[in-house]
Amino acid sequence: MKTIAFIIQKEFKQIFRNKGMLRIIFILPLLQLIILSNAATFEVKNIRFAYIDNDHSSLSRALIEKFNASTYFNVLAHFSSESQANSSMLNGEVDVVLVIPQHFQRDLQNNKYQNLGVTINAIDGAAAGVENVYTNQIVQSFNKNLKVELLQPSDLITQPINIITIPSFWYNETLNYKTFMVPGILVLLVTMITLFLSGMNIVREKEIGTLEQINVTPIKKSEFIIGKLFPFWVIGMGLLTIGLIIAKLIFNVPMVGSLVLMYAYTSIYILVVLGIGLFISNFTDTQQQAMFIAWFFTVIFILMSGLFTPIESMPIWAQIVTEFNPVKYFVEVMRMVMLKGSGFMDILPQLSKTLLYALIMNGLAVWSYKKTS
Amino acid sequence: MKRFIGFAKKEFYHIFRDKRSLFILFGMPIVQILLFGFAITNEINNVDIAVLDHSKDATTLEIINKISASKYFSIKQIVEGEADIESIFKKGKIKAILSFENEFNKKLIKENKATIQIITDATDPNTANTISNYVNAILQNYQKELNIDTKNTYQIIPQTRMAYNPELKSVFMFVPGVMTIILMLVSAMMTSISITREKELGTMEILLVSPIKPFQVIIGKVVPYIFLSVINAIVIIVLSIFIFKMPVQGSLLLLAFESVLFIISALALGILISTISATQQTAMMISLMGLMLPVILLSGFIFPISSMPFALQVISNIVPAKWFIIIVKGIMLKGVGLQYLWKETSILLGMTVFFIGISVKKYKIRLE
């Protein structure tokens, strides 16, 4: 026990003596949490909108006015020809171009229907889908008014059938992205810091040659590993705490669920990450190798965690891959507990899988650590 | 010159002897691009939803069938009462619940209107909003079918053309992004580590007292990595063309040139990082912690930059990856040439020169 305390003391001293590193460990992640949480939004707004009006009628102007009035669209420009519009879209200056054909008003009155050209820059397919929906909504509500304005007295009105939908957004009525992203990004930062630090730590001693000195001391394998990992566990928990405070104070993220549950889960989760880090450390000879591997897994963990893009939309094989991603469980648990107030029973599946993961990873790490080279 | 070639040779040996790093260097980008190209999408598909049907009549049944027939939704559960909604959402699997009001069919016939509530778990605002939009679209279509005999409606029908990506494939959006991230991080990380490594091991001192000039040391360090990164870039582009069926509408030559430019700017950033950090650990933490998230989030890789707050849109301009993603999308998907991309290209060029300039200024020929 005393030995462990000494190792821990040594590790802490090493960490706190390196002032540059300390800044990277604490300030960099928190700064990123504050700044980058604002960036992560799929909300489509400020759509850059342009039109070509070949009709110049009161009707075409009314339609454009309707787009102008919408909060989603920014009417940026009007073009006189398609080629102008095309070149502007190639330049990336506009997202949506509306083409109003000649005789728009006249044909509509005669034929009762009229086509309207809409071109959307669809490289971002999802955003294009949303832009399409918004465009349709505006045209549809314009259609409704048309009926009233253009109907002649001779037309008999038969009441159309109407299915009314009432959306209700639970837990986040204003569809605020930050409440969704802040817990996720916090999870990521805690994971990255603890993984990188633990992954590099032992391999660094290997590379510098000090590991051999420790290996010839009577320190036991388990004592050494516990002593090495405990400081990082503390750092991870510390980061979580500061991150939660920032989430509450700056972003005003609701914390509906139990803090105790969150901390209990995190304390197990960090063990998984440290186990992975240690495992990487054991199988590499240089810090460079260790970092490449850590980087490889981090990118996979981030992009396959459901943090930025939904897991349900992935193909089945990829969904199975995500089952092995600890970050996925952490993201789910944080969001469930913080935003919805899920209880112990609700997160039991995630909790038990994480616990199992922690046991396996740390078992492997201790097993693969050899005191002889 | 001979000295320089000798030095560059040494660097190549270093890299090729470390089989494990080499394997990682080439294997990982391939694994990543394959994995992410297939798996990452911000489309909403197969969302698990539940139904709370208070009236259970012919119309509600038909609507439920229509919704479950769409590829967006799979109905996983029938809910009995409002009280269950909370506990269902807390489990986290079901993302939305459709609630039909009492006597739906009767009301629709008698009063010509009836109500459906779309209750969504809006902890994920994007999914919630999209679900609500899709359900609405399905219902609108259904309504049109019902109203087919109603006359006297004027209709303006938008004919939408999805430019550059008619099938709305999200691969088109993500492959350029994944390519950028891999090139950026691998290049910056590799150079920053390999230079600080010499510092830490003490061999930098030997190099500094040797007759090789400092800038030759730096260039000699970078040259092998330019080769490696170019090979990586070629592999990634080949994979994206043949496996993900990405079109190359524009000139392949221009794409190659821009890729090399981007690789050099990432390497220059790596050099810059190495000049300000003393140990490999610091260099790695800066290039990993400092670059990873900003590159993912501020480059337009996943999240559209135009939706961000103004301040962040301004900040995003200093992320080289943002410009490269615009260039790649421009060449591959839009088929534009330099006349459209000169601005982005010159910004990348300027950044590269800036990084190199600062590094040269900060580079110390004496160790403290």
Q: What are A251-307's pLDDT values in tens digits? A: 888 888 889 999 999 999 999 999 999 889 888 888 888 888 888 888 888 888 888
Nearest CA of chain A to the CA of B101: how many Å?
A: 11
Q: In CATH, what number is assigned to the domain containing residue B141?
A: 3.40.1710.10
- State the pLDDT at residue B149: 60
Residues B135 and B222 in one domain: no
Number of Cβ within a 10 Å radius of residue B70: 14
User: Are B57 and B105 contacting, i.e. CB atoms less than 8 angstroms apart?
Assistant: yes
Q: Which residues of A touch B282 (CB under 8 A)?
A: 20-21, 24
The label of the residue with tokens 């944080």 reads: A334
Question: Among B149, B180, B205, where does a domain finish?
Answer: B149
Nearest CA of chain A to the CA of B204: how many Å?
A: 15
- State the pLDDT at residue A43: 79
User: ipTM > 0.90?
Assistant: no
- State the pLDDT at residue A170: 80
Q: Which residues of B touch A49 (CB under 8 A)?
A: none
d(CA A181, CA A183): 6
Residues B235 and B328 in one domain: yes
Q: What is the pLDDT of residues A347-367, one digit of tens each?
A: 888 899 999 999 999 888 888
Within a 13 Å sphere around the CA of B354, how many CA atoms are in the beta-carbon half? 9
pLDDT at residue B336 is higher than 70:
yes
Interface membership of A76 toward B (CB under 8 Å)? no
d(CA B226, CA B266): 10
Q: Is residue B154 part of a domain?
A: no
- Which residues form the domain of B98? 47-149
Nearest CA of chain A to the CA of B190: how many Å?
A: 8
Q: For A295, which residue in chain B has the nearest alpha carbon?
A: B288
Q: Which of A45, A169, A192 to mutate to test the interface with B (most CBs of B within 10 A)?
A: A169
d(CA A216, CA A218): 7
Q: What is the pLDDT of residues A73-101, one digit of tens each?
A: 888 888 888 888 888 888 888 889 998 88
Q: Which residues of B touch A128 (CB under 8 A)?
A: 162, 165, 168
Residues B172 and B305 in one domain: yes
d(CA A37, CA A355): 29
Greatest Cα pair distance in chain A:
102
- Chains A, B: CB contacts under 8 A, how many? 378
Measured CA to CA in angstroms, residue B138 lies from A141, B66, B143, B277, B307 at distances of: 17, 8, 9, 57, 27
Tell me which residue in A21, A40, A120 faces B282 most closely, judged by beta carbons: A21
Q: Which tokens hold the place of B131?
A: 């679900």
DSSP code, position B305: G
Q: Which tokens hold the place of B89?
A: 């959402």
d(CA A236, CA A232): 6
Residues B54 and B194 in one domain: no
**Residue A147 — pLDDT band, cuts 50, 70, 90?**
low
**Residue B161 — pLDDT band, cuts 50, 70, 90?**
confident
Listed residue (A266, A189, A277) closest to A225, CA to CA: A277
pLDDT at residue B152 is higher than 80:
no
Q: Is residue B278 part of a domain?
A: yes
pLDDT at residue A158 is higher than 70:
no
- State the pLDDT at residue A373: 59
Q: Which residues of B touch A44 (CB under 8 A)?
A: 304, 307
- State the pLDDT at residue A166: 76
- State the pLDDT at residue A273: 93
Question: Among B149, B180, B202, where does a domain finish?
Answer: B149
Interface membership of B317 toward A (CB under 8 Å)? no
d(CA A26, CA A32): 10
Q: Is residue B2 part of a domain?
A: no
Residues B254 and B323 in one domain: yes
Nearest CA of chain B to the CA of A63: how many Å?
A: 10
For domain A47-150, give the CATH number: 3.40.1710.10
d(CA A350, CA B366): 53
Q: Which residues pair with A78 in a beta bridge?
A: A51
Lowest mean pLDDT among A182-196, A351-365, B280-294: B280-294
The label of the residue with tokens 């006597």 reads: B103
Q: How many domains does chain B have?
A: 2
CB contact under 8 A, B40 and A303: yes
Q: Is residue B119 part of a domain?
A: yes
Q: Residues 235..254 of A with a Cβ closer than 8 Å to B: which?
A: none
Q: Residues 186..205 of A with a Cβ closer than 8 Å to B: which?
A: 188-189, 192-193, 196, 200, 204
Q: Which ranges in chain A are annotated with CATH 3.40.1710.10? A: 47-150
Q: Read off the amino acid at residue B65.
A: N
Residues B24 and B86 in one domain: no
- State the pLDDT at residue B285: 82
* Interval B195-214 mean pLDDT: 82
Query: Is the alpha carbon torsion for B70, B76, B78, B82 positive or negative?
Result: negative
